[in-house]
Amino acid sequence: MKRVMRNPYAGVDWSSHTRCKASMHAHTTESDGTQSPAEVIDEHHAKRYDILALTDHDAIPGWPGTERGSTWPWTSYGRDPDELGMLAVEGNEFSLIDHVNGYFTGVWTEEELRGGTHDRFAEDLPWIIDQIGVRGGLAQINHPGRYDRSLSFYLELFDRHRHLHAIEVFNQGDRCPQDRQRWDHLVTAMRRAGSHYPLWGSSVDDSHQASHIGRNYHVYLLPDRDEAALREAMTAGAYWFVHDPRGASDDRHDDGGSGFWTAAPMIERIDVTPAAISIEATRYDTITWSTDDGVPLGDGERLALNDEQLGSYVRAVLRGDGRAATYTQPFYLGAAPAEHQTPDPARRGAMGSDHSDLLGR
């Protein structure tokens, strides 16, 4: 019999938390996109996104072609997130080595980068991730399938950087399909190494043109639509993520009503008991469960925790119309008594917390 040691949705009040659709990786003409910042914002607003991070490349003062800083604030480009009813997230994609997104970090200043540190942006990925954390931000590894990196390389990164909270498993449609396997292998390897630190999955458009927008997104479960609540949900894993191959069409995001809606399977609630994990959902055809290394367990709304095939975690995929797929975050499993369960991060501060207990140290 297994127990759920970490439920990413433990802090969610399914009756009151707001479902917020988010795009966390988007580009504009401020780097290598084909649309202006205003056009990208408008495109997301038309598809009824609630949250948007513009993550143009390498906002490093003094680096050739990047003198602009981050694409921020929106008002500099004629758009006010409050007037649009959206939450704007300041972001950057650092892409001189492997690509990494930084959120909530602000811009590096020229004074901070004096003394040869420009070279570190081109040569030292751990240092870049360190600096995102120093500035109080969160970090995410982007499209890992584009790089020839070992599991041990990522294990070291995620072990060292507690604010490195996620890895992309869908990018720009599904151009790196091996990334889902990489995610499963990495979560499994971290668990076998004794880590209880969570690694969440991410699905992003990495949009560079209008036709990229709408196929990949997150749905965050927030008590309030503000930055503090978003940071907490990103850290705790209180969101699901979607890949919808037909999502570039506006009608996949708006049914003409006034509330939240997507054509992809929608999770209504998740219940975790000592005996099972259960999912209530709409617009789905199948729910499939997987465990360590992505090994399939079976189908159905309810997964019994006495399944002999269960490993160190389990996750679910809901499939529906037009091959749209909704992915839960992993539920971390163990055999420890309930009184020894690892504290749930949804009940802790998102930043500045001491996570040393989560790594089995």
211 lies in some domain: yes
CATH of the domain at 191: 3.20.20.140
Q: Distance (Å, rounded) from C-alpha 8 to C-alpha 198?
A: 9
221 lies in some domain: yes
What was the pLDDT predicted at 197? 86
Using only C-alpha atoms, the chain has a radius of gyration, in whole angstroms, of 20
253 lies in some domain: yes
DSSP 3-state of 149: coil
Residues in Cβ contact with 190 at an 8 Å cutoff, skipping those fewer than 6 apart? 155, 158, 159, 197, 199
DSSP 343: P
318 lies in some domain: no
Domains held by the chain: number = 1
One-letter amino acid at 259 equals G
127 lies in some domain: yes
Q: What predicted TM-score, i.e. pTM, was given to this entire model? A: 0.90
H/E stretch holding 97: none
DSSP H helices, the chain, are 37-46, 81-84, 118-123, 125-134, 151-160, 178-192, 227-236
Mean pLDDT by 10 residues, the chain (361 residues): 95 97 96 95 97 87 58 94 97 89 78 57 82 91 91 90 95 94 95 89 97 98 97 98 97 88 96 97 98 96 95 98 97 71 40 33 24
What was the pLDDT predicted at 290? 98
Domain that holds residue 71: 17-266
Q: Distance (Å, rounded) from C-alpha 300 to C-alpha 284?
A: 11
102 lies in some domain: yes
177 lies in some domain: yes
Q: Distance (Å, rounded) from C-alpha 311 to C-alpha 95?
A: 35
What was the pLDDT predicted at 354? 35
What was the pLDDT predicted at 345? 44
298 lies in some domain: no
Residue-wise pLDDT tens digits, 34-48 = 999 999 999 999 999
Q: Which among 347, 135, 359 is positioned nearest to 232, based on CA atoms?
A: 347
